[in-house]
Amino acid sequence: MIESQSEVRRDDSSAVAPPTEPLVAKELVKWHLIAGMTALGVAMLAGLFYSLQLLQAWPLPKIAVLSPGRIRMIHTNLIAFGFLTNCFLAMLYWTVPRLTGQRVASRALGWVIFGAWNLIILGTWAGLHLGEAQAIEWGETPTWIDPLVVLGAILVWIQMYTPIVRTREKALYVSLWYFTAGFIWLGLTYIMGNFFPEYLVAGNAAGPLLGLYIHDLVGLWVTPMGWGMMYFFVPIILRKPIWSHALSLVGFWGLAFFYPLQGVHHFLGSPIPMFAQYSAVISTIAVEIVVTSVIINFFMTWRGTDGSLRRSIPIRWFWVGALFYFITCFQCAFQVTLTFQKVIHFTDWVVGHAHLVMFGVFSFWIFGMIEHLWPKLTGHEWWSASLRRWSFWLTVIGLGGMFLTLTASGLTEGLMSMNLVPRATILEAVRPFWLTRTITGFAILAGYTCLVTNMILTARTSRVAHIDTDYGPFEQVDDEEVAIGAV
Ligand code: HEM
């Protein structure tokens, strides 16, 4: 049983917390967003630099600490742990107290977590430069960082479970289902991926564990946080309950049952036993159905909200993210088959897929959340409507172009390899695609710069808005609509 969206909405005045301390720790939300966006900037620069290496134009040769391999790991690790995790923490600090009517365990603990987590990110960044990486994809974090991450996860459990356990609500909204499970899954996934292959299991047996780890980090941490975030913000921005609570729960249980089984689909055609590969294929098909349920729920909720795409930039981000999610799912239907794997394995197709889901879906939803929250956090109206539009279009066009060029490059590479074309010829053939990837990377970076500039100027100089600090459905975009909070 879950409660209706109208019950989910509550403002600070209905909180159980004493009036001296507001329900939501806004400063923590703000600073986690700032840290996350800073990490994203560094990660994007690292991605751009690494793309230059693939064009044989590495600008900093013969400097070990800046060698391209290390820069690639900095790109992926800062995305996962610096950007996504910081932004998800911001999202949790905003949503969990609202959904439970209870404050998080302690604000002081919040600052400890903020400081410790970002020191962990800095340590990872420095460790990777110094060549201390573990040979575990997405788990390259230096070995001395790993226990600290587990400790950090435990502190987050204490912080976020406290309001969930204390809540007087009889039923929990579906976002809380995802969050509650996601915290546990994060700890288990991290321990499995970073400790087992490093210390306990070696060789071929470690393969399935690594597959499980890279997939579960996305599926059991990023996905539950992302889905919970979407289910919270979209109905609130649209001022409409989600289309189907039942479907949202089908998504939850489907994710819980099928996601952990599909990790081996990263190693199809490898020496891992075929029964494990086939079971990964079957559970991937099941997960596709589950993801489709979330996409349907989003679009059915959005349906009938006349002009919301034109009026609301946050909804635009969520909408395009859901569309990209559909494309990712559609791609999956092909790429999970052994036949198709023969073409695309080890090619840019996979890199295109990774960017589409990690950036095009979950990061776009985070941008939607930032667009919705930033005026409420700063108390100022957005500084520039046109910067908001520029940031949206540059990012969408940049990411769309990057995905298309990497998909085309992957197919070219795969088909040429199948025909035993020499590697040097293949590399020449994909060069124009890689050049296009770098150009699209600049477009994405430009979009990011517009968003961050607007955030800074909004916080510093923009005029103070009469904002409904909790809910503001439609926002002023083209000087056509009422400003946020008018309703
Ligand atoms: C300025 C924009 C970006 C550029 C130029 C860029 C470039 C790259 C490059 C060159 C790689 C390595 C590909 C290879 O080894 O063949 C990579 C990997 C990756 N990037 Fe980015 N990236 C950008 C933004 C992002 C963003 C914003 C995200 C996620 C939010 C992201 C997620 C990833 C992931 C998950 C991988 C690993 C892919 C895999 O191993 O299959 N990137 N990126």
User: What pLDDT does 177 receive?
Assistant: 94
Nearest CA to ligand 1 atom 21: 47
Nearest CA to ligand 1 atom 30: 359
- Give yes or no: residues 288 and 140 share one domain: no
Mean residue pLDDT of the chain comes to 89
Q: Is 72 in the pocket of ligand 1 (CB under 6 A)?
A: yes
Nearest CA to ligand 1 atom 6: 47
User: What pLDDT does 464 receive?
Assistant: 65
pLDDT digits (tens, 9 = 90+) for 42-76: 999 999 999 999 999 999 999 999 999 999 999 99
- Give yes or no: residues 269 and 352 share one domain: no
- Give yes or no: residues 357 and 455 share one domain: yes
Instruction: State the Cα–Cα distance between residues 286 and 263, nearest whole angstrom.
Output: 13
- Give yes or no: residues 236 and 159 share one domain: no
- Give yes or no: residues 481 and 348 share one domain: yes
- Give yes or no: residues 212 and 68 share one domain: no
Q: Is residue 112 part of a domain?
A: yes
Q: Is 354 in the pocket of ligand 1 (CB under 6 A)?
A: yes
Q: Is 351 in the pocket of ligand 1 (CB under 6 A)?
A: yes
360 within 8 A of 321, measured Cβ to Cβ = yes
Q: Is residue 11 part of a domain?
A: no
484 within 8 A of 315, measured Cβ to Cβ = no
Q: Is 441 in the pocket of ligand 1 (CB under 6 A)?
A: yes
- Give yes or no: residues 299 and 183 share one domain: yes
- Give yes or no: residues 48 and 117 share one domain: yes
pLDDT digits (tens, 9 = 90+) for 284-338: 999 998 999 999 999 999 999 988 999 899 999 999 999 999 999 889 888 999 9
The larger pLDDT score, comparing residue 185 to residue 15, is at 185
Q: For residue 139, name the pLDDT band (cuts at 50, 70, 90).
A: confident
Pocket test for ligand 1, best of 85, 359, 366, 403 (most atoms within 8 A of CB): 359
Phi, psi dihedrals of residue 42, rounded to the nearest 5°: -65, -45
The residue from 167, 190, 207 where one domain ends is 167
- Give yes or no: residues 352 and 256 share one domain: no
Q: Is 410 in the pocket of ligand 1 (CB under 6 A)?
A: no
- Give yes or no: residues 162 and 281 share one domain: no
Q: Is 345 in the pocket of ligand 1 (CB under 6 A)?
A: no
For residue 448, the ligand 1 atom closest to its alpha carbon is 1
Q: Is residue 78 part of a domain?
A: yes
Give residue 73 CA to ligand 1 midpoint distance, Å: 10
Residue 79 belongs to domain spanning: 17-167
- Give yes or no: residues 203 and 346 share one domain: no
Q: For residue 485, name the pLDDT band (cuts at 50, 70, 90).
A: very low
Instruction: State the Cα–Cα distance between residues 468 and 310, nearest whole angstrom.
Output: 21
Is pTM beyond 0.85 here?
A: yes
